[in-house]
């Protein structure tokens, strides 16, 4: 099955993760719980309702998306860079029938998986705090998979260009942090100046929040396919670019 | 890359060529690391690639793996064009890289299993092969050890075992014994011998002439991207070097060579503190040297190292 060779790369990463799964899952629950409790109840005391829903519910749907983005980004930057440049794991893999494309697809699939692994606990915590409307909120998980694939592929482009870990600071500061703050995670985009709102429409995270929020709050879901298409387009372009860049870098 | 398809390969004389290269070239920054090499490796052969640092050995091996695109020339490995069908070819190839790249996230046995999964080997196939390979690498007791807990020799043996996980027809080994102590080297030599006896084709690089003489049916001497000579160690010695070497040491060696020695030897080379004198008949020279006061000297038969020194030059090149 040459088309599915990349699965071996995904499975390798899954096996490594499983060795440390328990502490990392505890961390996955702990941090978002703190965010939800501190910000949700803290701000929630001032702003009872946002967009006709409790602030805690508004925030929870945003945090789910932001943590999926962060998990996929960290995996695609630092962990992937270690495998590429420090451990030479990819060099080893490229001496087998696998190609650079297989490595990229396997790594990207793993970033998507990490996004789901990290965002699912928040969904559970949110449900326990009453910040989820009904069981259809589970549809958020496939959306987080798509979002993770998208940000994972984007991170792999950056990794392919990086000459050291320091390079990642530019991407975090110039790309990830603005998205984290301006995609409607913490407050509605409508309070921002019009030009910032326009800019935010170019962020994949904005479109993920636009789909996840109705799914978790039970409000009507309008035109989700458009939003999902934007995320898929970013991911699609990024993965092709990452394969091209990494071929150039690894097969010099 | 387009050039790689343009140049036709000559029809191979032997039907069983495992590697066939014609005009193979790889250029880095205007300098040809591999410069139009032509060679074949026959099935079942053990071929040694010798050359000073920077000669282009690793680059040539990476071309064979299909891990870098040639700038010109044509290459066929295991009957498949490379790099066009390199993935398919690598399913039947084993690789020991110059620098270990074992997976530090896994134990010894997990390294073998994970590597096997890249070849699409399932649980059952791995359950049969992994214990046998651990045994081959003398690492059965260390199966659950972390990679960081292994010695250099153990890592090298594990890397060799890993390269055999797919039962390859051709093994490519880049300096398999560099950095190993004599015991570890001997164990690895024994394993490589077993593999050639089992009918595997081996292509290895080394800086140890003794290793090449001992293991290889044929050696290729490479320098500055080109293959300077190719043949069995004995043939190369016969073709390039007078059979006897008298090494003259010490302060008086130069003066002796200038005054009287040059007339008594066929050829001489200065290597560091000593003068290497190449002769067909050693007796007259040894008698003459015995009559000189204060000169130390030894006699030995010419070996592959002498061929290597003659072909690649003696001075350390700072450029490479
Ligand atoms: N990826 C690369 N980018 C630029 N130059 C390279 C690259 N790989 C090799 N070279 C150059 O090509 C030449 C041959 O290098 P190569 O590693 O093939 O030598 P080698 O014979 O394996 O040497 P050694 O015995 O030290 O391992 C060197 O001059 C090296 O600097
Ligand atoms: Mg080398």
Q: Name which of A8, A91, A250 is nearest B118 (Cβ-Cβ).
A: A8
Q: Name which of A89, A250, A252 is nearest B103 (Cβ-Cβ).
A: A89
Write out the CATH class of domain B242-312: alpha beta
Q: How far apart are CA B227 and CA B218, in angstroms?
A: 13
pLDDT for res B260: 81
β-strand pairing of A53-54 with A49-50: antiparallel
Q: Does the global pTM surpass 0.95? A: no
Contact yes or no for B120 and A16 at CB 8 A? no
Residues 6+ apart with CB under 8 A from A111: A71, A72, A73, A75, A76, A80, A148, A149, A151, A152, A153, A155, A156
Secondary structure letter of residue B12 according to DSSP: P
Distance (Å) of CA A212 to CA A114, A141, A143, A177, A189: 18, 9, 7, 20, 15
Sign of the alpha-carbon torsion through A175, A166, A72, B68: positive
- Indicate if the pLDDT at residue B7 is higher than 60: no
Residue A14 belongs to what domain range?
A: 2-250
Q: How far apart are CA B111 and CA A95, in angstroms?
A: 14
Contact residues, B window 159-218, toward A, CB-based 8 Å cutoff: 166
CB contact at 8 A, A62 and A185: yes
3-state class (DSSP) for residue A172: helix
Q: pLDDT tens for residues A100-141?
A: 999 999 999 999 999 999 999 999 999 999 999 999 999 999
ipTM above threshold 0.90: yes
Q: Which residue has the higher pLDDT, A180 or B253?
A: A180
Indicate the number of domains in chain A.
1
> How far away is chain B from the Cα of A4, in angstroms, using its nearest Cα?
10
- The rounded Å distance from CA B226 to ligand 2 centre is 15
Q: Contacts of residue B68 in chain A, CB cutoff 8 Å?
A: 251-252
- Indicate if the pLDDT at residue A15 is higher than 80: yes
- Indicate if the pLDDT at residue B315 is higher than 80: no
- The rounded Å distance from CA B54 to ligand 1 centre is 5
In chain B, where the domains are located: 242-312
Q: pLDDT band for B11, please (50, 70, 90 cuts).
A: low
The arithmetic mean of pLDDT across residues B77-81, rounded, is 97
Contact yes or no for A8 and B115 at CB 8 A? no
pLDDT for res B14: 47
Q: pLDDT tens for residues B252-263?
A: 888 888 888 778
- From the CB of B51, is ligand 1 less than 6 Å away? yes
**Ligand found nearest the CA of B30:** 1
Q: pLDDT tens for residues A151-173?
A: 999 999 999 999 999 999 999 99
Q: pLDDT tens for residues A41-99?
A: 888 888 888 999 999 999 999 999 999 999 999 999 999 999 999 999 999 999 999 99
Q: pLDDT tens for residues B152-196?
A: 999 999 999 999 999 999 999 999 999 889 998 999 999 999 999
pLDDT for res B203: 98
Q: Which residue has the higher pLDDT, A127 or A1?
A: A127
Chains A, B: CB contacts under 8 A, how many? 64
Protein residue with its CA nearest to atom 29 in ligand 1: B54
- Nearest residue to B290 via CA among B280, B299, B300: B299
CB contact at 8 A, A182 and A196: yes
CB contact at 8 A, B264 and B244: no
């Amino acid at each position: 099955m040459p088309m599915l060779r990349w699965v071996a790369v995904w499975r390798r990463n899954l096996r490594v993760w499983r060795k440390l799964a328990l502490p990392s899952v505890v961390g996955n629950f702990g941090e978002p719980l703190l965010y939800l409790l501190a910000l949700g109840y803290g701000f929630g005391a001032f702003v009872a309702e946002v967009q006709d829903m409790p602030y805690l519910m508004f925030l929870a749907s945003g945090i789910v998306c932001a943590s999926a983005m962060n998990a996929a980004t960290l995996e695609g930057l630092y962990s992937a860079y270690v495998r590429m440049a420090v451990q030479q794991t990819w060099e080893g893999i490229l001496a087998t029938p696998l190609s650079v494309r297989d490595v990229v697809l396997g790594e990207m699939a793993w970033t998507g998986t990490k996004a789901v692994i990290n965002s699912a606990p928040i969904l559970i915590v949110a449900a326990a705090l009453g910040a989820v409307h009904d069981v259809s909120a589970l549809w958020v998980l496939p959306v987080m998979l798509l979002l993770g694939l998208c940000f994972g592929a984007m991170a792999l482009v950056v990794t392919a260009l990086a000459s050291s870990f320091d390079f990642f600071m530019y991407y975090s500061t110039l790309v990830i942090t603005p998205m984290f703050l301006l995609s409607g995670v913490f407050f509605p985009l409508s309070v921002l100046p019009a030009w910032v709102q326009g800019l935010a429409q170019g962020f994949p995270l904005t479109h993920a929040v636009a789909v996840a929020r109705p799914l978790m709050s039970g409000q009507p879901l309008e035109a989700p396919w458009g939003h999902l298409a934007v995320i898929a387009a970013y991911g699609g372009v990024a993965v092709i670019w990452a394969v091209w860049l990494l071929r150039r870098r690894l097969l010099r | 890359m387009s050039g790689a398809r343009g140049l036709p390969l000559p029809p191979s004389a032997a039907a069983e060529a495992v590697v066939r290269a014609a005009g193979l070239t790889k250029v880095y920054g205007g300098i040809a690391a591999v410069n139009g090499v032509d060679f074949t490796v026959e099935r079942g052969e053990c071929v040694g690639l010798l050359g000073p640092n920077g000669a282009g050995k690793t680059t040539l091996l990476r071309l064979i793996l299909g891990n870098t695109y040639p700038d010109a020339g044509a290459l066929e490995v295991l009957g498949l064009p490379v790099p066009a069908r390199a993935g398919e070819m690598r399913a039947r190839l084993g690789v020991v890289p110059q620098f270990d790249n074992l997976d530090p996230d896994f134990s010894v046995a997990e390294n073998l299993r994970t590597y096997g999964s890249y070849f699409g080997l399932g649980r059952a196939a791995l359950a049969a092969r992994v214990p046998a390979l651990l045994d081959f690498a003398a690492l059965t007791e260390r199966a659950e050890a972390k990679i960081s807990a292994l010695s250099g020799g153990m890592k090298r043996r594990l890397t060799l075992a890993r390269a055999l996980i797919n039962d390859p027809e051709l093994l490519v080994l880049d300096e398999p014994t560099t950095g190993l102590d004599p015991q570890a080297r001997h164990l690895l030599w024994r394993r490589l011998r077993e593999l050639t006896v089992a009918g595997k084709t081996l292509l290895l690089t080394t800086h140890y002439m003794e290793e090449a003489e001992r293991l290889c049916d044929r050696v290729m001497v490479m320098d500055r991207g080109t293959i300077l000579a190719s043949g069995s160690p004995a043939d190369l010695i016969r073709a390039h070097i007078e059979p006897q070497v008298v090494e003259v040491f010490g302060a008086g060696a130069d003066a002796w060579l200038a005054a009287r020695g040059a007339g008594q030897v066929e050829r001489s080379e200065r290597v560091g503190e000593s003068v290497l004198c190449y002769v067909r008949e050693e007796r007259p020279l040894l008698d003459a040297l015995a009559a000189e006061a204060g000169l130390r000297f030894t006699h030995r038969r010419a070996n592959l190292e002498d061929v290597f020194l003659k072909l690649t030059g003696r001075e350390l090149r700072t450029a490479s």
